[in-house]
Structure 1
Amino acid sequence: MVRAIRGAIQVEGNERDAILSGVTELVTEVMERNGLTTDDVISVIFTATPDLTAEFPALAARKLGFHDVPLICCTEIDVPGALPRVVRLMAHVETDKPRQAIQHVYLRGAVALRVDIAQ
């Protein structure tokens, strides 16, 4: 089965290291909580709020071993009053888990985005 996993993290600032560190933490948590390896991942879409321009979030995934996984980065729409400095992801994975067993991961300030599904 193919499932989509959502996640987000609020990073400390628009610095390369802050973005890479935050995305590394997010991707690692998504993978661990869902018992996945890179072979299970079909693709990942990353979005970053418009205030994050210092690095591509996908680079963190590449450094974690996502060498042959299609990755793309996009800018999140600039909604007035939206939470700043947020990187989101949507990972498409192959898994036998039912939809209810998928763990979506929201870290740091991004927990406020989806308190209904954040674990």
Structure 2
Amino acid sequence: MKVRGIRGATTVNEDTPEEIFAATKELIEEIVRLNDIDVDDVASVLLTLTPDLSSAFPAKAVRSLPGWQWVPLMCARELDVPNSLPRSVRVLLHVNTEKAQSELVHAYLGEAVQLRPDLARD
């Protein structure tokens, strides 16, 4: 079994705790669904917010999911790159899996689809 990374991103319309919570939860649930992940196989999760988001910790949304309270979570500030996508929540899940890198499905939701159109799914 190897540790693999699964990426994802989404956007919010406003910098509110409710929007960050809902968008983060939706993103994690979509990554879990697409990759048939068992929470016991998640080694850790890194979450980032763009500098224009500061009203909430996205880890709070992840911890609200059943079984996720034991997963190590870390929040960080995304780099402030000129002309980058605003109001973005990004995630990197480290997952123990037998799947090959090519079998993993990354999730880009909302306006974040433009970050990786090659990986976005309908």
Q: Does 1:83 align with 2:85?
A: yes
CA RMSD of aligned residues (A): 0.7
What 5-or-longer segments of structure 2 have no aligned partner?
none
| TM-score between both structures, scaled by the size of structure 1 | 0.97
Deviations 1:90-111 (A, max 9, x none): 0000111111010000001000
| TM-score between both structures, scaled by the size of structure 2 | 0.95
Deviations 1:45-70 (A, max 9, x none): 00000011010011000001311110
Aligned pairs for 1:1-119 (under 5 A) are: 1-65=2-66, 66-119=68-121
Instruction: Give the secondary-structure state (helix, strand or coil) at the position aligned to 2:5.
Output: strand
Structure 2: how far apart are the matches of 1:118 and 1:99? 16
Deviations 1:24-55 (A, max 9, x none): 00000001100002101000000000011010
Structure 2: how far apart are the matches of 1:3 and 1:83? 26
How many positions carry a matched residue from both structures? 119
Q: Could you list the runs of 4 or more consecutive aligned residues of structure 1 that deviate by over 3 angstroms after TM superposition?
A: none
